[in-house]
């Protein structure tokens, strides 16, 4: 992984790394698939540029009310706007497509085997870094599975920029370069094999570039910020680094043809799952993050509970801490509940891996409780037997057809 990092910092310098980045060593543009994708991607690009709505460092936006007064928009409202736009984009693209099936691969002599090699590399990375999730993807159709691997790898690489072994060398400029590369991926000009797999994926599925840009924005936020004043600020961060994953995944997972749910409501549930996962991550990693000088927990809620940064650095489990943690866990569970309603609406083959990931992640919260809220020095994890039991439960849940109607919250 360190290779990918170096590579963003300085595209010419490539050092040895793990298997993750072997493809990087194959040099500069190993695969140019732009020829067969220009039409799709130019069109997508135009839309991407027109629709660029990065929140940047803005925590809240001023909007005019119908009465002409200026009001502040919360992060949740701004993110919901993204959800609506994503849902509208997908609906428009599906309406204009002849059918909802995945487009066939355009035969490209010589390049096809490279492309399949590229996906093989993504599969290996995924299998290495997220074994259970990788197993879950095996139930998906081959096209969807490959696409999810490609997205997973891009997300992992993006996270590694700020969290990996070379994170201390990462500057906002390096993230800008990573974003330029992303634009190239969506224009059909991938830089390396792993990018090539993503280029192919975004040409075949109605995936929009915005959530990818927003994830990079989340990494920028992580570079410049180590405290969150309130939940509104934290929510925005969680959207950037995790809610975006939900938005990237739905166009691949697909919505069940017999679902009566609105597209927006399914996207909203996907967003909720990302937020729930990230809140869980944050609650699990309090001690680890504090040792890196980071406190993701909302400062105002800590203060209300009579707690301050020093209490977190001291890492003592007190009654104040327990009762603070109970509330945080309760909030994370609400997001999981919101997500549950959407999983059933996904296409049948995609439901199992999503249920599995939801059940497994949610159990981390139970483990924090079981550790008596000591998330300073004890890492909450789900044991192998518990993981194994969750898989058939997830499978049984995935058999439930999408009968209920999901209503869009506003």
Residues of the shown chain interacting with ligand LST6JFWI in the complex, contacts defined by CB under 6 A: 133, 136, 148, 151-152, 155-156, 159, 163, 241-242, 245-246, 249-250, 266, 269-270, 273-274, 277-278, 281, 339, 342-343, 346, 353-354, 357
Q: Which does 196 bind (CB under 5 to 8 A by kind): Mn ion, ligand LST6JFWI, none?
A: none
Q: Which residues contact 318 (CB under 8 A, 6 or more apart)?
A: 311
Q: Which does 325 bind (CB under 5 to 8 A by kind): Mn ion, ligand LST6JFWI, none?
A: none
Q: Which stretch binds Mn ion (CB under 5 A): 65-73, 156-164, 346-354, 390-398?
A: 156-164
Q: Which does 140 bind (CB under 5 to 8 A by kind): Mn ion, ligand LST6JFWI, none?
A: none
Count CB-CB contacts under 10 A for residue 256. 19
Task: Please count the residues of this chain forming the interface with Mn ion, following the rule CB under 5 A.
Answer: 2
Contact 250, 267 (CB under 8 A): yes
**Choice between 26 and 163, CB closer to Mn ion:** 163
Q: Which stretch binds Mn ion (CB under 5 A): 29-37, 157-165, 226-234, 282-290?
A: 157-165
Give the shortest CB-152-to-ligand LST6JFWI separation in angstroms: 4
Q: Which does 190 bind (CB under 5 to 8 A by kind): ligand LST6JFWI, Mn ion, none?
A: none
| Residue 329: C-alpha distances to residues 135, 282, 296, 333, 374 (Å) | 28, 11, 14, 6, 13
CA distance 123 to 52: 31
Q: What is the DSSP string of 255-270?
A: B-TT--S-HHHHHHHH
Decide the pairing of beta strands 61-64 and 70-73.
Answer: antiparallel
The total number of residues shown for the chain amounts to 410
Interface residue with Mn ion among 81, 163, 285, 338 (CB under 5 A) is: 163
Positive or negative, the CA dihedral 155, 187, 89, 348 is negative
Give the shortest CB-170-to-ligand LST6JFWI separation in angstroms: 13
Positive or negative, the CA dihedral 134, 365, 343, 205 is negative
Interface residue with Mn ion among 26, 117, 159, 338 (CB under 5 A) is: 159
Q: What angle do CA 295, 298, 304 make, to 5 degrees?
A: 120
**Choice between 111 and 198, CB closer to ligand LST6JFWI:** 198
**Choice between 194 and 269, CB closer to ligand LST6JFWI:** 269
CA distance 283 to 272: 16
Give the shortest CB-260-to-ligand LST6JFWI separation in angstroms: 14
Give the shortest CB-358-to-ligand LST6JFWI separation in angstroms: 7
**Choice between 118 and 241, CB closer to Mn ion:** 241
Positive or negative, the CA dihedral 268, 206, 353, 129 is negative
Give the residue from 177, 149, 330, 326 showing the smallest Cα distance to 252.
149
**Choice between 201 and 203, CB closer to ligand LST6JFWI:** 201
Give the shortest CB-163-to-Mn ion separation in angstroms: 4
Give the shortest CB-327-to-ligand LST6JFWI separation in angstroms: 20
Residue 110's region, left for phi above 0, alpha for psi from -120 to 50, else beta, is left
**Choice between 156 and 220, CB closer to ligand LST6JFWI:** 156
Count CB-CB contacts under 10 A for residue 107. 8
Q: What angle do CA 158, 252, 23 make, to 5 degrees?
A: 40
Among positions 52-91, residues that touch Mn ion (CB under 5 A) are none
Q: Which residues contact 95 (CB under 8 A, 6 or more apart)?
A: none
CA distance 272 to 27: 39
Q: Which does 281 bind (CB under 5 to 8 A by kind): Mn ion, ligand LST6JFWI, none?
A: ligand LST6JFWI
Q: Which does 17 bind (CB under 5 to 8 A by kind): ligand LST6JFWI, Mn ion, none?
A: none
Q: Which does 342 bind (CB under 5 to 8 A by kind): Mn ion, ligand LST6JFWI, none?
A: ligand LST6JFWI
Summarize as ranges the residues that interact with Mn ion (CB under 5 A).
159, 163
């Amino acid at each position: 992984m360190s290779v990918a990092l170096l590579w963003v910092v300085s595209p010419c310098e490539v050092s040895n790394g793990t298997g993750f980045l072997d493809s990087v060593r194959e040099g500069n543009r190993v695969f140019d698939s732009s020829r067969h994708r220009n039409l799709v991607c130019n069109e997508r690009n135009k839309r991407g540029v027109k629709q660029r709505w990065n929140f940047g460092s803005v925590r809240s936006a001023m909007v005019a009310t119908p009465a002409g007064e200026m009001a502040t928009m919360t992060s949740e409202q701004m993110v919901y706007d993204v959800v609506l736009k994503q849902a509208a984009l997908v609906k428009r693209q599906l309406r204009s497509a002849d059918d909802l099936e995945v487009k066939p691969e355009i035969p490209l002599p010589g390049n096809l085997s490279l492309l399949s090699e590229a996906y093989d590399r993504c599969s290996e990375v995924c299998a290495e870094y997220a074994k259970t999730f990788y197993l879950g993807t095996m139930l998906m159709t081959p096209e969807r599975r490959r696409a999810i691997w490609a997205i997973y790898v891009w997300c992992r690489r993006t996270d590694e920029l700020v969290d990996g072994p070379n994170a201390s060398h990462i500057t906002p400029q390096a993230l800008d370069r990573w974003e330029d590369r992303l634009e190239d991926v969506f224009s059909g000009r991938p830089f390396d094999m792993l990018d090539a797999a993503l280029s192919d994926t975004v040409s075949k599925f109605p995936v929009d570039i915005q959530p990818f840009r927003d994830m990079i924005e989340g990494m920028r936020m992580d570079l410049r910020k180590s405290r969150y004043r309130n939940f509104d600020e934290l929510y925005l961060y969680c959207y950037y680094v995790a809610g975006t994953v939900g938005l990237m995944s739905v166009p691949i997972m697909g919505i069940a043809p017999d679902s009566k749910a609105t597209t927006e409501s399914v996207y909203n549930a996907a967003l909720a799952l990302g937020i729930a996962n990230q809140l869980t991550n944050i609650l699990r990693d309090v001690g680890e993050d504090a040792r890196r000088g980071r406190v993701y927990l909302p400062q105002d809620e800590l203060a209300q509970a009579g707690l301050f940064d020093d209490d977190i650095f001291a890492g003592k489990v007190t009654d104040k801490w327990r009762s603070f943690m109970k509330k945080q866990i309760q909030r994370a569970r609400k997001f999981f509940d919101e997500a549950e309603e959407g999983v059933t609406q996904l296409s049948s083959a995609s439901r199992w891996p999503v249920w599995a990931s939801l059940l497994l992640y949610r159990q981390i919260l139970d483990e924090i409780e079981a550790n008596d809220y000591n998330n300073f020095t004890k890492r909450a994890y789900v044991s192998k037997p518990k993981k194994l039991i969750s898989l058939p439960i997830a499978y049984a849940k995935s058999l439930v057809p999408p009968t209920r109607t999901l209503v869009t919250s506003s």
